[in-house]
Amino acid sequence: MTEQGSKAVEKILEVRDLVTQVATPSGPKTVVDGLSFDLCRGETLCIAGESGSGKSMTSLSIMGLLPEPMARVASGEIRLNGTDLLTLSERAMRDIRGNKIAMIFQEPMTSLNPVLTIGRQLGEAISTHNPMPGSRVRARALEVLKQVRISEPEKRLSQYPHELSGGMRQRVMIAMALACNPDVLIADEPTTALDVTIQAQILGLMRDLQRETGTAIILITHDMGVVAEMADRVIVMNQGKVVESGTVTDVFEKPGDPYTRGLLAAVPRLGAMTGTEGPASSDGKALERGLAKPLVSVRDLTVRFDIRGGLLQRVQKRVHAVEQVSFDIFAGETLSIVGESGCGKSTTGRALMNLIPWQGEVVIDGREIDANSRIQTREVRRNIQMIFQDPYASLDPRMTVGELVAEPLVIHGLASGSELDDRVEYLFRRVGLPADAAKRHPHEFSGGQRQRICIARALSLSPKVIIADESVSALDVSVQAQVLDLLGELQAESGLSYLFISHDMAVVEQISHRVAVMYMGQIVEIGPRQAVFENPQHPYTKKLMAAVPIPDPRKRRQDFSLITGEVPSPVHGLDYQPELADLQQIAAHHFVAKSAMETAA
């Protein structure tokens, strides 16, 4: 027992001088270097840092899940209630895992077995450590599902992971981790893959469960907003070493290390642009007077996907992905589309690229697009290009990055020989990469560098419009800031227009001229950035803003009940015809929220 203030606290986990190494062709490489910390009952310790800092390797070391012999703990101590876990056999560690220490992984879909029901998987987690009759196992599984406040818990027991939403799957993972009442819960980026509203619900749930059970939490994240929301104490890691540690208030208000200061400075903050007009448009005066002609004009864009079934595979239902969406994009302007997963924002971008079937009217640079003309589609793509969310999946691993950037020029017959080489070299310099990088392959670059390569590829045809689909959501905050700065510089230099697709309201506020909010396949609010962020009208817009974590521990939310409800299913019968007025009523019924500034106050 130790004294913290006037209250006695119990140390549960003690880590001393932990050194973790991985094998490389040139010899062992240290990825966790001399880490030490204590964790007390009921406390939340956040380990923060960017990709490669060693924070996830720390969690795997504690859990005894390192992929030996490729990775191993070289030295140190990890004591749980006084017992050094590094001295235990694998059989003894199996009794500890899930029972005394449990872990929530980043991606619930890859952590859950797709061929077993939720009830079966929960039952295995419970009965492995506490053998009991099947009826009692089911009762306990139902109890933990109710504990994590999942809707219709009895129904969920018989469902498979693919039948649940991302937020529901993460709740199942939390239920599985809490099933045996562990002393320590390690959550490794548990909300990174979730929409901001689901993230807020999960964070609120973890906080409530901690108050009820007294479980100590190690929260591993690169999101400093989440750190401010959840942490009692913070450890900041960089290249395997601790560069800063202390209470959450001290780290945020008095950061001592330059790396920590840079990390905090790079975090986009919702409301930081209040009272400002935002980024300047290349033709701002013309836009204000309503004199400018739109570069892209979309009217009544509709995308529906058939769901077939039965013996004859007839169409039984339809997914109403996008319904009668209309908007304009002007030269040198950034129009952002925001909303949660499934709202139709990425489908809208893919439809403009003619990557999926669509209906409606689309005019690009004065030319109406024929959705069924492949020849015209090829011509149109010289003016409109796309940057996808995952840069690694967008790049062919068998080709050099130089070949990938040159490929559009070759396909359209715009350059060859030395002219092609010069153009590729110019594009690499323009996105801040050395010319000799062109000879390397995608796996030899970091995530931020790969996204720069994707931007260079999109710029190769000198397009007038770039669709950026969640182009920075998978990046660390400092790399994200660099890519956003690059996009702004390119727009200022060449008058590029962006359709910026994102669920991150703070990033959208920073980069946008105008904002469109999508809900259930329709735009429910659209207007200038300042109007949408400072005076939101739709309850769904208010909900999105209320859910954004604020990177300031003094403004920590106490009441997560403001952020309630899930987006209803877009699957409907063949006779369904949605109306915007219906969506207003649905949103008012599902969502109760205040603005982020009201919530913070």
pLDDT in tens, 167-206: 788 888 888 888 888 899 999 888 776 777 778 878 888 8
Residue 388 lies in a domain: yes
Q: Looking at 234-373, list the stretches that DSSP marks H as alpha helix, in order from N- to C-terminal side.
A: 248-253, 258-265, 284-289, 345-352
Kindly report which listed range (323-327, 536-540, 577-581) carries the lowest average pLDDT score: 577-581
- Per-residue pLDDT for 476 more than 90? no
Residue 503 lies in a domain: yes
Structure tokens belonging to residue 472: 């920075």
- The parent domain of residue 496 ranges over 291-600
Query: Residue 188: phi, psi to the nearest 5?
Result: -95, 105
Residue 106 lies in a domain: no
Angle between helices 539-547 and 196-213 (to 10 degrees): 50
Residue 303's H or E segment, with its range, is strand 296-309
What distances in angstroms separate CA 42 from CA 85, 191, 215, 247, one per listed residue?
Answer: 21, 20, 5, 15
pLDDT in tens, 258-277: 999 988 988 888 888 887 76
Can you tell me the distance from the alpha carbon of 368 to that of 361, in angstroms, rounded to the nearest whole number?
A: 7
Region of 428 on the Ramachandran plot (φ > 0 left; ψ -120 to 50 alpha; else beta)? alpha
Which pLDDT value is given to residue 582?
Answer: 56
Largest Cα–Cα distance of the chain, in whole Å?
75
Residue 310 lies in a domain: yes
Residue 65 lies in a domain: no
Kindly report which listed range (199-203, 409-413, 573-577) carries the lowest average pLDDT score: 573-577
Q: Is the pTM of this model over 0.85?
A: no
Structure tokens belonging to residue 362: 């689309």
Q: How many CB atoms lie within 10 A of CB 161?
A: 21
Give the number of domains in the chain: 1
Instruction: Decide: 458 and 385 in contact? Cβ < 8 Å.
Output: yes
Q: Report the pLDDT averaged over residues 317-346.
A: 90
DSSP SS3 for 425: helix
Instruction: Decide: 397 and 441 in contact? Cβ < 8 Å.
Output: yes
% of the chain with per-residue pLDDT over 70? 90
Which pLDDT value is given to residue 278?
Answer: 62
293 DSSP 8-state letter = P
* 14 bridge partner residues: 38, 79
3-state SS, 237-257, equals: EECCEEEEEEEHHHHHHCCCC
Residue 251 lies in a domain: no
Q: What is the mean pLDDT of the chain?
A: 85
Can you tell me the distance from the alpha carbon of 449 to that of 479, in angstroms, rounded to the nearest whole number?
A: 9
Residue whose token pair is 């990177």: 551
Burial of 397 (0-12, 13-18, 19+ CB in 10 A): exposed
End-to-end Cα separation, the chain, in angstroms? 36
Q: 365: domain CATH number? A: 3.40.50.300
Residue 52 lies in a domain: no
pLDDT in tens, 221-253: 888 888 999 999 999 999 999 999 999 999 999
Type of residue found at 468: A
Residue 375 lies in a domain: yes
pLDDT in tens, 501-554: 988 888 899 999 999 999 888 899 999 999 999 999 888 888 888 888 888 898
- Per-residue pLDDT for 569 more than 90? no
